[in-house]
Chain A
């Protein structure tokens, strides 16, 4: 069972307090009607499936209730970092460098 740091509670808590919310940084188009069918399809269904760094949304469901973002390594399962919703996506190269 993983330990996850909630960036709002600023505390590590066991995985059972959290729920997964899919890939992060996929913003809903400001004006969906203006999107093409292909653009809308990509927004709905096309997701990354990386080996390694993955940007994810999690919710501290049984804690503060807030949605936040996380960087997780799909090889080790482990969290690299978590950060508040709305903050920019951490640079992948910097993350790789910080880990090695």
Chain B
């Protein structure tokens, strides 16, 4: 079957056959093959349909720059990946690959009608076609665009693989293990520097893997390669990373590497990560990424069988595969001649070499004639034929007439428009580029990072030059990293000097309106599209690129950018730099989400903080909700109860007798020092100096802008020690804010701040029987009303364990908060549950807590406030220390906007229909009959079913709400407008008699 394999040629292991599937059919290859080389060995060129026109497409290249041969690969359930490049995927036993973007089949594709409708799809067709009528957008255009957008099919089940990530540090990171990279790594390694050498391919060697002519130091290129890799592998200070792509080059020599570990293996040990993301900080970086061959731009240059000449040479020399039986070469660069020569020497009949240059070095024509290859100088290809594979081409002298045209039968056309340095990583660093008008290339100029470029990626072609520059770069990098070494000298034999020219699109003898000379194969952009964009007024490449989509596919224009730029520059009639080079962005090649996510998925995606009592709640079947990073018990359903029933029972039990609640997640900050009270005076709105030790106060914290940031009860333990509580989500933020003021605005104050959130378990006991439960268990604290009234704090012991006991309430009932060291939290909780059975003690969750506090009009910062409410807006004006000269935010409260009567103010709402519970977030209007869009005057912030009242209650912010008591407002909902009366915010026990009941 592999009739295009040439026995004895190439580096694949012919003793290790590998079978895989392409579109359901079994193909054979060898270990060392890519999907592309194995398919070509079987004579398969047609591997996909193009994105826009559904044109048949083949394999253009032999590397990661491939724009055409994009396949879906299937390694089993969940291991499905679209748009992988056949030119880099190594074959493995049983690997399933499928072609994309066609229906019903690759050979017969209905979507190919787009190719005939070419005129409709030219540059900017999205912008032009889908403009009007407006009503068509939602129902017609968008569904069509979405249906046809994207290439390939996404996986539909979770990825079962694991992905690893790690940090690494090194002295010298060498990117690219071609001859330049190898020379750099060898000399850097010999200096003793810690070296990382990475290459995206399975085998180190780069261009050497495809080079069979030149020798180094008296050895063949391959022998030198083996000796070099062996030496590097033997150095303990050198790490070799094949199958590893340097995807991005970030600040201060931070480079991301994606290493592919298992995809090429038939099986891997359980637990082996599929890929590993390396985050490397290198002292010095050597970029030796090589160059990418440019296609020539002519009509029909995208037909299967048309490919890059250098790639055809790679398939022959590296994989032992001839890409056709009767190839023709068309080129503007010497290097393509070598492909023709190598193929001819391997027994392939090369029909012709067509070179657009009027003259070429003599040694080329001499060799061609010796090999019996016809040479046409100053000629070009004007078109190709063949439905699913090229079958012939037309050629004519560039300056000649149609009459001179000739037809060549062929099954492959090998093209070369010269070579372009791979600048991507250098470009990531914002390194400055320099345009060489003679060579029509951008080259790296000024380095921003501690880096250097070497080899073809630096514009230096030829093995001798590349090795020399690599060695020099390796020693220089090692030296800058603090080592010293000598630059190795290499003797290169049998190397030919390569020359070439650059061209724009080539002339055609076809009707220009139907000619399709492709620049960007992946996004189906032609030379004509680019010229059209310029005619329509686009002058900058950044605009041309977006209008035509050239260079915007997943290959980031690796094979198309410079051709597109040259054509645009020609159309604009300026030099390329004036039109600009598009910006390369990481990643260098498409990278899996798995590699980026690494270990951060599932339970490791984010921190889940749990209290000491969390496990008890889980064992009792609590339903949880996330609150900031914490998970908190939401409610405790009994068998058969839904949330509504459970919350109703929990509320009633707490108001009637006794409820118990895990409040451990509340933020806690210990503020200590001789100036602790003064610090609190400056931070909080309230006055603190006169608060007696043993007493508590509700504190309100503002930002400097006067808006509420946080609140909480603060207890004074001694004159110089305060126990501050914050909201659950605000703890870290509040501590940061306090540190900020203490360090930078009030450094004169002697105060120390310590987070104690995790040190204390906090158990809230609420209800008429709260004291009855606690009294027998507490030692050292007199719980009588006189000694320990509402808003008190004291230290003592509970069940023998030290405690800070607070008397406070977030429910309106008699309440205590038992703080014990976290390690005793669960034991004390269980003891309280056991002792509380006499009172029907009922554990409740955050939902019941919310209902009970809303019945009392206690706000939750972040729910009833949103960063635009002042204390007055929230009904907390009483908490402002009016006599204080200053506190954070005080000045802002006097700004004119803060004093307006129509500010949104917190009010209560009672719906006209008591059974209706409003939706939180619902918008409020004054006049339900006004035309839409209505003027919205506020929104519902909290809304619950109140068991105590047997009706719904709500809190809301409404413009000028305080002056609207008793008024009716309206809440438009999808199925009708609801009515509600504006009330005060306290719905239950406004006299606070129950606090001491």
Name the CB-closest residue of A to B891: A32
Does any Cβ of A come within 8 Å of B833's Cβ? Answer: no
Q: Are the C-beta atoms of B251 and A1 separated by less than 8 Å?
A: yes
Q: Are the C-beta atoms of B251 and A37 separated by less than 8 Å?
A: no
Does any Cβ of A come within 8 Å of B892's Cβ? Answer: yes
Q: Are the C-beta atoms of A67 and B739 separated by less than 8 Å?
A: yes
Does any Cβ of A come within 8 Å of B3's Cβ? Answer: no
CB distance from B930 to the nearest CB of A (A): 34
CB distance from A22 to the nearest CB of B (A): 10
B747: A residues at CB distance < 8 A: 86
A22 and B187 alpha carbons, distance in the complex (Å): 46
Q: Are the C-beta atoms of B740 and A44 separated by less than 8 Å?
A: no
Does any Cβ of B come within 8 Å of A63's Cβ? Answer: no
Q: Are the C-beta atoms of B251 and A2 separated by less than 8 Å?
A: yes
Does any Cβ of A come within 8 Å of B895's Cβ? Answer: yes
CB distance from B599 to the nearest CB of A (A): 15
Task: Tell which of B430, B736, B885, B895 touches A40, judged by Cβ atoms closer than 8 Å.
Answer: B895
Q: Are the C-beta atoms of A85 and B743 separated by less than 8 Å?
A: yes
Q: Are the C-beta atoms of B886 and A1 separated by less than 8 Å?
A: no
Name the CB-closest residue of A to B895: A37
Name the CB-closest residue of B to A67: B743
B885: A residues at CB distance < 8 A: 31, 33
A21: B residues at CB distance < 8 A: 740
A10 and B705 alpha carbons, distance in the complex (Å): 34
Does any Cβ of A come within 8 Å of B236's Cβ? Answer: no
Q: Are the C-beta atoms of B896 and A78 separated by less than 8 Å?
A: no
B744: A residues at CB distance < 8 A: 57, 67, 85
Q: Are the C-beta atoms of B743 and A76 separated by less than 8 Å?
A: no
Q: Are the C-beta atoms of B251 and A65 separated by less than 8 Å?
A: no
Does any Cβ of B come within 8 Å of A95's Cβ? Answer: no
CB distance from B733 to the nearest CB of A (A): 11
A1 and B747 alpha carbons, distance in the complex (Å): 32
Query: Restricting to A21-64, which residues have a CB under 8 Å from any CB of B?
Result: 21, 27-29, 31-33, 35, 37, 40-41, 44, 57, 59, 61
Instruction: Report the count of interface residues on B (CB-CB < 8 A).
Output: 25
Contacts A31-B886, A66-B743 given: A1-B892 contact, CB under 8 Å?
A: no
Name the CB-closest residue of B to A40: B891
Q: Are the C-beta atoms of B896 and A37 separated by less than 8 Å?
A: yes
A31 and B312 alpha carbons, distance in the complex (Å): 78
A28 and B682 alpha carbons, distance in the complex (Å): 13
CB distance from B431 to the nearest CB of A (A): 11
A44 and B705 alpha carbons, distance in the complex (Å): 7
Q: Are the C-beta atoms of A76 and B448 separated by less than 8 Å?
A: yes
Does any Cβ of B come within 8 Å of A77's Cβ? Answer: yes
Task: Tell which of A2, A29, A37, A65 touches B739, judged by Cβ atoms closer than 8 Å.
Answer: A65
A16 and B798 alpha carbons, distance in the complex (Å): 42
A9: B residues at CB distance < 8 A: none
CB distance from A54 to the nearest CB of B (A): 16
Task: Tell which of B281, B448, B740, B891 touches A35, judged by Cβ atoms closer than 8 Å.
Answer: B891
A32 and B740 alpha carbons, distance in the complex (Å): 18
The contact string, 1 if C-beta is below 8 Å from chain A, for chain B 722-742, is: 000000000000001001100
A19 and B886 alpha carbons, distance in the complex (Å): 28
CB distance from B426 to the nearest CB of A (A): 15
A85 and B747 alpha carbons, distance in the complex (Å): 10
A33 and B743 alpha carbons, distance in the complex (Å): 22
Does any Cβ of A come within 8 Å of B704's Cβ? Answer: yes
Name the CB-closest residue of A to B753: A65
A65 and B252 alpha carbons, distance in the complex (Å): 24
Contacts A1-B251, A44-B705 given: A33-B891 contact, CB under 8 Å?
A: yes
Query: Restricting to A56-100, which residues have a CB under 8 Å from any CB of B?
Result: 57, 59, 61, 65-67, 76-78, 85-86
Task: Tell which of B254, B430, B736 touches A59, judged by Cβ atoms closer than 8 Å.
Answer: B736
Task: Tell which of A32, A44, A57, A77 touches B886, judged by Cβ atoms closer than 8 Å.
Answer: A32
A65 and B740 alpha carbons, distance in the complex (Å): 10
CB distance from A5 to the nearest CB of B (A): 11
Task: Tell which of A33, A44, A85 touches B704, judged by Cβ atoms closer than 8 Å.
Answer: A44
Does any Cβ of A come within 8 Å of B890's Cβ? Answer: yes
Query: Restricting to B694-748, which residues have a CB under 8 Å from any CB of A?
Result: 704-705, 736, 739-740, 743-745, 747
A87 and B128 alpha carbons, distance in the complex (Å): 59
Interface of A is mostly: loop
A35: B residues at CB distance < 8 A: 891
Q: Are the C-beta atoms of B886 and A40 separated by less than 8 Å?
A: no
A77: B residues at CB distance < 8 A: 251
A33 and B886 alpha carbons, distance in the complex (Å): 8
CB distance from B956 to the nearest CB of A (A): 28
A27 and B430 alpha carbons, distance in the complex (Å): 35
Name the CB-closest residue of A to B256: A1
Q: Are the C-beta atoms of A1 and B250 separated by less than 8 Å?
A: yes
Name the CB-closest residue of A to B741: A28
Q: Are the C-beta atoms of B739 and A78 separated by less than 8 Å?
A: no
Name the CB-closest residue of B to A65: B739
Query: Restricting to B225-255, which residues have a CB under 8 Å from any CB of A?
Result: 250-252, 254
CB distance from B759 to the nearest CB of A (A): 18
A27 and B704 alpha carbons, distance in the complex (Å): 12
Task: Tell which of A28, A33, A65, A76 touches B745, judged by Cβ atoms closer than 8 Å.
Answer: A28
CB distance from B780 to the nearest CB of A (A): 35
Contacts A67-B743, A85-B743 given: A1-B891 contact, CB under 8 Å?
A: no
CB distance from B170 to the nearest CB of A (A): 15
Query: Restricting to B889-909, which residues have a CB under 8 Å from any CB of A?
Result: 890-892, 894-896
Q: Are the C-beta atoms of A40 and B251 separated by less than 8 Å?
A: no
Q: Are the C-beta atoms of B895 and A2 separated by less than 8 Å?
A: no
Name the CB-closest residue of A to B704: A44
A69 and B895 alpha carbons, distance in the complex (Å): 30
Q: Are the C-beta atoms of A28 and B254 separated by less than 8 Å?
A: no
A36 and B890 alpha carbons, distance in the complex (Å): 14
B745: A residues at CB distance < 8 A: 27-28
Q: Are the C-beta atoms of B892 and A44 separated by less than 8 Å?
A: yes
CB distance from B799 to the nearest CB of A (A): 36
A33: B residues at CB distance < 8 A: 885-886, 890-891, 894
Interface-central residue, A28, A41, A66, A78, by most chain B CB under 10 Å: A28
A86: B residues at CB distance < 8 A: 747
A61: B residues at CB distance < 8 A: 736
A2 and B892 alpha carbons, distance in the complex (Å): 36
CB distance from B853 to the nearest CB of A (A): 32
Name the CB-closest residue of A to B250: A1
Q: Are the C-beta atoms of A41 and B895 separated by less than 8 Å?
A: yes
B704: A residues at CB distance < 8 A: 28, 44
Name the CB-closest residue of A to B887: A32
A67: B residues at CB distance < 8 A: 739-740, 743-744
Q: Are the C-beta atoms of B740 and A78 separated by less than 8 Å?
A: no
A2: B residues at CB distance < 8 A: 251-252
A37 and B891 alpha carbons, distance in the complex (Å): 9
A21 and B745 alpha carbons, distance in the complex (Å): 14
Counting from the closest, the 7 A-B pairs by CB-CB distance are A32-B891, A67-B743, A28-B745, A3-B252, A2-B251, A1-B254, A40-B891
Residues of A within 8 A of B (CB): 1-3, 19, 21, 27-29, 31-33, 35, 37, 40-41, 44, 57, 59, 61, 65-67, 76-78, 85-86
Q: List 23 A-B pairs, Cβ < 8 Å.
A: A1-B250, A1-B251, A2-B251, A3-B252, A3-B281, A27-B745, A31-B885, A31-B886, A33-B886, A33-B890, A33-B891, A33-B894, A37-B896, A40-B891, A40-B892, A57-B744, A59-B740, A61-B736, A66-B743, A67-B743, A77-B251, A85-B744, A86-B747
Residues of B within 8 A of A (CB): 250-252, 254, 279, 281, 430, 448, 704-705, 736, 739-740, 743-745, 747, 885-886, 890-892, 894-896
Known: A2-B251, A37-B895. 14 other contacts (CB 8 A): A1-B250, A1-B251, A1-B252, A19-B736, A29-B891, A31-B886, A32-B886, A32-B891, A44-B892, A59-B739, A67-B740, A67-B743, A85-B743, A86-B747
